[in-house]
Amino acid sequence: MAIQLNHTILAARDAHSSAEWYAELFGLEAPAHLAPFWQVTTANAVNLDFIDHDPAEHGEIEPRHLAFLIAEDDFDVIFGKVLDRGMDHYADPHKNLPGEINHHDGGRGVYFADPDGHWLEIITVPYGGW
């Protein structure tokens, strides 16, 4: 059986702004509007579909965790943006190591939140090594 992740839906206070935030941070193509979604596509063709979420109507946004496997050079660029923006970041998912990155499996990784509270992780080596 060949199963591939095609897309995931992320709730956002402003779907368009969130999609633009991801596209800019990760150096992806500009978001496409596929009502009611704003969609950003990763290099391996997984779509991040952002949908407007009104907390007054639907309750608070339930944060999701998204991990992105990126190249070493891309880590420098993306993590540089995290630092330039003064974003809180951690070496671990439990926020025990603030202001640090990890070096699991000989790579680099870091956790940080997007503007809607979704927990993002960038790693340069998949868990368990190559």
Domain boundary among 30, 53, 76: 53
- Each residue of 113-125: pLDDT tens digit? 999 999 999 999 9
Angle at 104 between CA 77 and CA 120, to 5 degrees: 50
- Each residue of 8-17: pLDDT tens digit? 999 999 999 9
Q: How much is the pTM?
A: 0.94
Residue 58 lies in a domain: no
Asked if 84 and 129 sit in the same domain, the reply is yes
CB 62 within 8 A of CB 72: no
Stretch 53-74: mean pLDDT, rounded?
Answer: 96
Note down the domain range covering 16: 1-53
Asked if 107 and 85 sit in the same domain, the reply is yes
Asked if 120 and 87 sit in the same domain, the reply is yes
Q: Which pLDDT does position 1 carry in this prediction?
A: 86
CB 97 within 8 A of CB 116: no
Stretch 62-71: mean pLDDT, rounded?
Answer: 97
Q: What is the CATH number of the domain that holds 98?
A: 3.10.180.10
- Each residue of 29-59: pLDDT tens digit? 999 999 999 999 999 999 999 999 999 999 9
Quote the mean pLDDT of the chain: 96
Q: Which residue has the tokens 């935030």?
A: 21
Asked if 86 and 119 sit in the same domain, the reply is yes
Q: Which pLDDT does position 129 carry in this prediction?
A: 67
Number of domains into which the chain is organized: 2
